[in-house]
Amino acid sequence: MKLYVYPNDNLASLKAYEIVKKALLNKKNSLLGLATGSTPLKLYDLMIKDYKKGIISYKEVKTYNVDEYIGLEESHDQSYRQFMNCNLFNHIDINIKNIYFPKGVGNINKNIKEYDKTLESLGAADIQILGIGSNGHIAFNEPGTSFDLKTHVTNLSPSTIKDNSRFFLRRDQVPTSAITMGIKSILKAKKIILLAFGENKSNAIKKLLEEEVTEDFPASALKDHPDVIIICDSDAAKKIKYN
Ligand code: PGA
């Protein structure tokens, strides 16, 4: 794993964007694995800015997302699909048919099977963008999840529900389960960029860098991947030693 630490999330997001931009300039039909949450927002802003300047086109790009809440329709304002529409897809020239997303409503078992089939047929992502939960989750693989699972339903941990509650008016509106890609599928990406900003992530980053691989700390699975880039701001890196 390579680690980059920047004084703030603007510079850290710019580093992530430079890697994404290089990949997109090299390969117009790149496949990007995307994540939601507050962490990648500045990266998505940079992607939109360069698209608007005519520097990058997403016409041939395909994307898949790693997770979606169970019980929220695509059109719900807090669904992850809406999040991606509002924060990226609506502002670039991506073909809607090239956007792949797990479905959190309807026949969930069927949705799981279909998403695994979709991911299988898409092949390995050129770049997978990830955030990290304060408890070390990646996508919604919560602590204790087998690294061998593909797409599955997960009950969100109390700390994740608490972290996510800032986006909802009331705690009882926060979904308690999600459909998520498994770690096995996430690790198929050719390159993984994990972003971590803010002091709230400092314990998770310390664990990721200093502790053993264990299913009790899902992000540790990344240690077994050959091309992982961790990009932090100085708050997220405050509990580790770096140059
Ligand atoms: P955040 O979430 O970007 O909103 O901090 C990251 C995550 O839970 O994976």
Determine contact, residues 131/35, Cβ cutoff 8 Å.
yes
Measured by CA distance, the residue closest to atom 2 of ligand 1 is: 37
Say yes or no: CB of residue 131 within 6 Å of ligand 1: yes
Q: Give me the residue spans of the domains in the chain.
A: 2-198+208-233
In this prediction, residue 67 has a pLDDT band, given cuts at 50, 70 and 90, of very high
Q: What is the mean pLDDT of residues 116-123?
A: 98
In this prediction, residue 35 has a pLDDT band, given cuts at 50, 70 and 90, of very high
Q: pLDDT, tens digit, for every residue of 152-181?
A: 999 998 988 998 899 899 989 999 999 999
Distance 50 CA to ligand 1 centre (A): 24
Flag whether the pTM goes above 0.85: yes
Domain made up of 2-198+208-233: CATH architecture: 3-Layer(aba) Sandwich (3.40)
Distance 138 CA to ligand 1 centre (A): 9
Measured by CA distance, the residue closest to atom 4 of ligand 1 is: 37
- Least confident range from 19-23, 56-60, 163-167, 217-221: namely 163-167
**Taking 80 as the threshold, does the pLDDT of residue 243 lie above it?**
no
Residue 149's pLDDT is: 97
Q: pLDDT, tens digit, for every residue of 193-221?
A: 999 999 999 999 999 999 999 999 999 99
What length is written for the chain?
243
Residues ≥6 apart with Cβ < 8 Å to 84: 34, 36, 65, 99, 101
Distance 25 CA to ligand 1 centre (A): 28
